[in-house]
Structures are given as structure tokens and as C-alpha cells.
Amino acid sequence: MARTLPTGLPLHVTEVMRDDGMAVTEDGPAEVFVMLHGYGGTSFTWRYWAPALAARGRLLLVDMKGFGAAPKPDDGAYGPVDLAALVADLIRVLDLSRVTLIGHSLGGGVALLTSFSLPGDDRDRVARLVLIGAPAYRQRLPPFVHLARLPQASAALLRLVGARRVVRLVIRSVVFDRDSATEEMVDAYAAPLATRDGVRAALDAGRMIVPDDIDELSRRFTDLDLPVLLLWGEHDRVVPVSIGERLAAELPNARLVVLERCGHLPPEERPEASLALVTSFLDDTL
């Protein structure tokens, strides 16, 4: 069961309910899981994890501004810091507490920044982070992000080659097993690129994906004392495991787990194994 939540923010938020429509409560308010997808992704990313997490508490799947079903305003504010501010506003608008922010790739970077974007006492609303292949420092950017920095060439490529073919090539380049790039995935991730606004928003986000003050932001990681699970694919060619290792060394309360035979999409490439790791972390830090 699912329902769309109007928030007044340029985000599309779907609440996934367990089968009986009830949230699990243990010694107080239900846990809340806010899920943030990666660059070019949508809440479709979480289809394998959603039922199990909805059975534990309140589950909110977010299509971030510019992606999926979310609004795509032409305002030039698609950087990770902009997106993190919107997620922080969402947490306040919905008056959420005991929040576990779960972010993949760009969504992981946004989740990390959100923990800094909540001011004062509101920071206590976030209890844990799960970061999956999350960018956090300066690194070599993958080819599909470099392409986004050439908007005319990118738009022409999408017109000439077609969004589905481009998306298929990108997915096959980031997973460990190329055959795991199913047509269902291609259809889901290509759909938002069928409109001019969808293409423009995706390219805007790609151009802004590295914050100008990334070095200053990363120096704040040592102050973050929340429990953090860092989940990486052993063969991640988008955000290498070395980024996870550096985060594990600099975050005061983090653990790094690396999945074998997995690329950049653990929730989709190895859904059962990756979910089991997340569930264990949630149980240990409850």
C-alpha cells in the first residue's frame, strides 16, 4: 500500500505502508526511514527493500527535485547542498523524528549533508545514516556525469540515440554483472528523460554534482557522531571503495561493509544480501 504525501516542497514523497496499514512501534514513536536515490535514479531503486522496511516503521520514498515524479523547476538549484536543504525542510515540515536517512550514490551524499543542514535541536531528528556508494570527497567523475557538463552534446545524444539506449549503456557500465541491467530498470530510469524538463533537470544536477566548497564540507565529517553504515559494492566503478574507506576512518561512529560481486547498485544487484546488512545495522543501533 502506498500514498503520496503533499509537502509543498519540490519533492515527490511516497509513503509505503505495510500490508495491514499499521506502523510498527516499540517503546515510543515508530522508526522513520527516508530513502534518497542516486543521480538519474528514482524511488524505484528501493523496490526490493521497501516491504521489509515498511514492516519495521514509517517508510518515505523520496523522488528528489528534478528526478522521477518530482517537480523540475528551471531555477539552477540542483546541487547536493540545495537538495539536502529540501530534505531537511521535509523532515521539519512532516515533524519527523527517529529518522534513519538511507541514501544511494548522490542520495548518500545528500543524506550526509542533510545531517549538517538541520539546525540546532532539529539535528536530533536524525538518528542514523545508511550511505550506499556515496560520494563525499573530490574524485574522478564517471563518464556519464562528465557528459552532463556538456548540455548541448548530451541533449543531442539523447535525441539521436534515444534515452532507453543511453540508460541501458549507463546501467551496464556501473553494475558488476552486465546481465543484471534488466529492461524493467531501463524503462524506469529512462522514463523521466522523455520530457525536455526531465533532460534539463538531469543535466543541471550533473553539472552541479560537486559542491564548490566540498573540501570545507568534508572537514565537518569528524563532528558527526551518529551511527553510520557505509555499504559498498566491491566493484563500484562510480564511487570507489576507497571513498568508503576514507569515510570509515573519518566518521567517528561508522562501519564499512563491502559486498563481493557487486557494483554501484547494491539494492538492485544484490537486494537480499544488502538488505540483510542494513537490517543487522538497524537492529544493532536501535
Percent of the chain surpassing pLDDT 90: 79
Across-strand partners of 175?
A: none
Residue 38 inside a domain? The answer is: yes
Question: Could you report the per-residue pLDDT of 44-98, keeping only the tens digit for each?
Answer: 999 999 999 999 999 999 999 999 999 999 999 999 999 999 999 999 999 999 9
**Contact 266/241 with Cβ under 8 angstroms?**
no
Using a pLDDT cut of 70, give the percent of the chain over it: 96
In a domain, 145, yes or no: no
How many CB atoms sit inside 10 A of residue 166's CB? 21
pLDDT of residue 22: 54
Q: Which pLDDT does position 29 carry in this prediction?
A: 55
Q: Which residues pair with 232 in a beta bridge?
A: 258
Evaluate whether residue 147 is within a structural domain.
no
Q: According to DSSP H, which parts of the chain are helical?
A: 50-56, 80-93, 106-117, 143-148, 151-161, 163-174, 183-190, 196-207, 214-218, 241-250, 266-269, 271-284
Q: What is the pLDDT of residue 227?
A: 97
pLDDT tens for each residue of 105-141: 999 999 999 998 888 889 899 999 999 999 999 999 8
Strand partners, 102: 35, 130
Residue 215 domain-assigned?
A: yes
Among residues 99, 106, 198, which one has the least CA distance to residue 145? 106
Among 144, 9, 157, smallest CA distance to 85 is for 9
Residue 20: predicted pLDDT? 62
The string of pLDDT tens digits covering residues 13-25 is 999 988 765 544 4
Rg of the chain, C-alpha, whole Å: 18
DSSP 3-state percent helix, strand, coil across the chain (nearest 5) = 45, 15, 35
Note the pLDDT of residue 26: 43
Q: Of 27-41, 71-85, 214-228, which gets the smallest average pLDDT?
A: 27-41
Q: Can you give the CATH number for the domain in which 76 is found?
A: 3.40.50.1820
The answer to the question of residue 163 being in a domain is no
Domain that holds residue 111: 2-140+211-284
- How confident is the prediction for the chain on average, in pLDDT? 92
Residues 278-283: what's their mean pLDDT? 97
Instruction: Indicate the pTM of the whole model.
Output: 0.94
- The closest alpha carbon to 251, from 100, 128, 99, belongs to 128
3-state DSSP of 69-85: CCCCCCCCCCCHHHHHH
In a domain, 280, yes or no: yes
Report how many domains make up the chain: 1
